């Protein structure tokens, strides 16, 4: 059974990476792969069917929370876009050169992802790119750098990346510890690729001509929706911090808040005009194929975790690599292929946090803010940038901009490898 699930996963993964040659949408392949893996598990697991159902529902609970978070963020972004809210930012970006604009986009992405999270930031910044850049290939290049910047920016904040949040909640890292240890390595990880790309980009930016088939929303309404929408996104980690509700609950509350504001703004307008700015219209415009792709990938990875492959991988790393530094670097690389969440969960279970000071150099790495945990936050958070399907931010940008796996592998992965290696080197020098 275990080998059959692994074979299906590998075949599905290869099919996703070659979707342009197969001429089959990656979402269909991902769904077939995820459901087939669990179908094999149900047929051959050897336990009562209730246990198999319980395992599936346990994983589906975590997956559904991620998908609801993603759908809520997409809807908020679409609502802001429907009201031309991003013009408030794009009208203030006056850069005309490609490399100048790249520094602005990457800088905003890096710090915004620490305040929000890398997934939401990737969605927002990809929407901004569409407003600023006409050329598709250049927009893909900017989209790839948004993925690198969002993942690097999320790694050094306890609320910026789901894996860092997991380590924070488990007591493995503290807020001051993760920021103090990882801010410079995270900056280094995005700075070197930026410098390399800066000298490759030449020429002026061609902006899209905005054409509206109906009367544009008023400046007052645009400002209200933009401030409410961005404030709602920023409010998500605040809700989590004070109520301890899962992040998707905060996102749903924020969506409901913005939905209410738009209903009040357009309540007296005729139905046809009101519908143009409604949340229902925004929901129709969100990229559901990307959401389903995410569902299929996470289901497939969950099946690998259920049959023990991920735990076996963690044990194999411990037995065959000489140091925790090498283990963490390897985990980061592996997280570009399989989801980093179960990898980090396996590490937390394998290496419990040391609650008391110890003089043993090996055990001291596992104290709160120890080198193992802080480096794990860095590598698990940024390693997913090596492949476009290695992180939630990558999957979101892939769906929104229709970036192929092969294009990313040729154009962005080399930069991601350089940045990943440099960030690990800076951490090693610091620690």
* Tens of pLDDT, residues 1-40: 788 988 998 898 888 877 767 788 888 998 999 999 999 9
Q: Identify whether 337 is part of a domain.
A: no
The larger pLDDT score, comparing residue 375 to residue 174, is at 375
Task: Out of 141-155, 288-302, 345-359, 415-429, pick the least confident.
Answer: 345-359
Per-residue pLDDT at 210: 63
Residue 300 contacts residue 9 (beta carbons within 8 Å): yes
Rounded distance between C-alpha atoms, residue 147 and residue 105, angstroms: 11
- Per DSSP, 128 falls in state H
Please give the C-alpha separations between residue 73 and each of 66, 121, 231, in angstroms, as whole numbers.
11, 9, 12
- What are the tens digits of pLDDT across the range 189-201? 999 999 999 888 8
**Any residues with CB less than 8 A from the CB of 395 and at least 6 apart, and which?**
290, 293, 294, 297, 388, 389
Q: Is residue 212 part of a domain?
A: yes
Q: How far apart are CA 214 and CA 388, in angstroms?
A: 37
Whether 214 shows a pLDDT value over 50: the answer reads: no
- Give the residue carrying structure tokens 């949408």: 25
Out of 70-74, 346-350, 353-357, 393-397, which region has the weakest mean confidence (pLDDT)? 353-357
Instruction: Provide the pLDDT for residue 160.
Output: 80
**137 in any annotated domain:** yes
- With respect to residue 198, please indicate whether it lies within any of the assigned structural domains: yes
Integer Cα distance of 288 and 315 in angstroms: 37
**Average pLDDT over the chain, rounded to whole?**
84
Mean per-residue pLDDT for 237-264?
87
> Pick from 144, 138, 264, 251: which is nearest to 205 by CA?
138
For 240-253, the pLDDT digits (tens) are 778 888 878 988 99
Answer whether residue 99 is part of any domain: yes
Residue 302 inside a domain? The answer is no
pLDDT at 339: 65
Residue 121's nearest CA partner among 131, 110, 136 is 110
Give the structural domain span for 96.
65-161+177-288
Name the token pair of 338: 């399989």
What pLDDT is attached to residue 186? 94
- Taking CA atoms, 200 is separated from 131, 148, 392, in Å, by 23, 17, 27
Tell me how many domains the chain contains. 1
- Answer whether residue 327 is part of any domain: no
From residue 274, give the alpha-carbon distance in Å to each of 118, 232, 261, 268: 32, 22, 13, 8
Tens of pLDDT, residue by residue over 94-132, are 888 888 899 999 999 999 888 777 887 888 889 888 888
279 located within any domain: yes
């Amino acid at each position: 059974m275990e080998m059959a699930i692994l074979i299906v996963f590998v075949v599905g993964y290869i099919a996703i990476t070659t979707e342009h040659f197969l001429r089959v949408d990656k979402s269909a392949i991902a769904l077939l792969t995820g459901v087939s893996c669990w179908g094999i598990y149900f047929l051959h697991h050897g336990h009562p069917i209730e246990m198999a159902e319980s395992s599936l529902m346990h994983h589906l609970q975590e997956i559904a929370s991620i998908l609801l978070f993603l759908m809520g963020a997409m809807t908020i972004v679409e609502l802001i876009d429907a009201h031309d809210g991003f013009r408030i930012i794009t009208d203030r970006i006056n850069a005309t050169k490609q490399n100048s604009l790249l520094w602005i986009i990457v800088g905003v992405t890096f710090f915004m992802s620490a305040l929000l999270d890398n997934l939401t930031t990737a969605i927002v910044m990809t929407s901004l790119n569409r407003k600023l850049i006409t050329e598709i290939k250049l927009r893909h290049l900017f989209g790839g750098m948004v993925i690198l910047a969002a993942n690097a920016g999320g790694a050094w904040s306890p609320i910026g990346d789901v894996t860092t949040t997991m380590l924070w909640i488990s007591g493995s890292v503290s807020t001051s510890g993760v920021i103090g240890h990882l801010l410079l390595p995270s900056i280094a990880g995005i700075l070197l690729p930026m410098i390399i790309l800066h000298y490759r980009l030449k020429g002026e930016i061609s902006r899209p001509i905005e054409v509206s088939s109906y009367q544009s929303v008023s400046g007052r309404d645009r400002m209200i929706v933009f401030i409410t929408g961005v404030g709602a996104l920023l409010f998500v980690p605040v809700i989590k911090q004070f109520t301890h509700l899962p992040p998707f609950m905060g996102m749903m509350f924020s969506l409901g808040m913005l939905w209410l504001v738009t209903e009040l703004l357009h309540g007296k307008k005729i139905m046809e005009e009101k519908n143009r700015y409604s949340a229902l219209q925004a929901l129709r415009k969100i990229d559901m194929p990307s959401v389903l792709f995410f569902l299929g990938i996470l289901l497939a990875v969950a099946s690998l975790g259920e049959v023990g492959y991920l735990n076996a991988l963690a044990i194999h790393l411990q037995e065959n690599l000489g140091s925790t530094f090498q283990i963490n670097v390897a985990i980061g690389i592996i997280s570009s292929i399989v989801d980093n969440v179960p990898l980090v969960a396996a590490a937390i279970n394998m290496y419990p946090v040391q609650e008391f000071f110890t003089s043993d150099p090996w055990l001291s790495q596992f104290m709160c803010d120890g080198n193992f945990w802080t480096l794990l936050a860095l590598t698990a958070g940024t390693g997913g940038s090596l492949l476009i399907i290695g992180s939630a931010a990558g999957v979101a940008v892939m769906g929104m901009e229709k970036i192929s796996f092969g294009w990313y592998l040729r154009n962005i992965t080399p930069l991601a490898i350089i940045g990943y290696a440099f960030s690990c080197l800076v951490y090693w020098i610091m620690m």
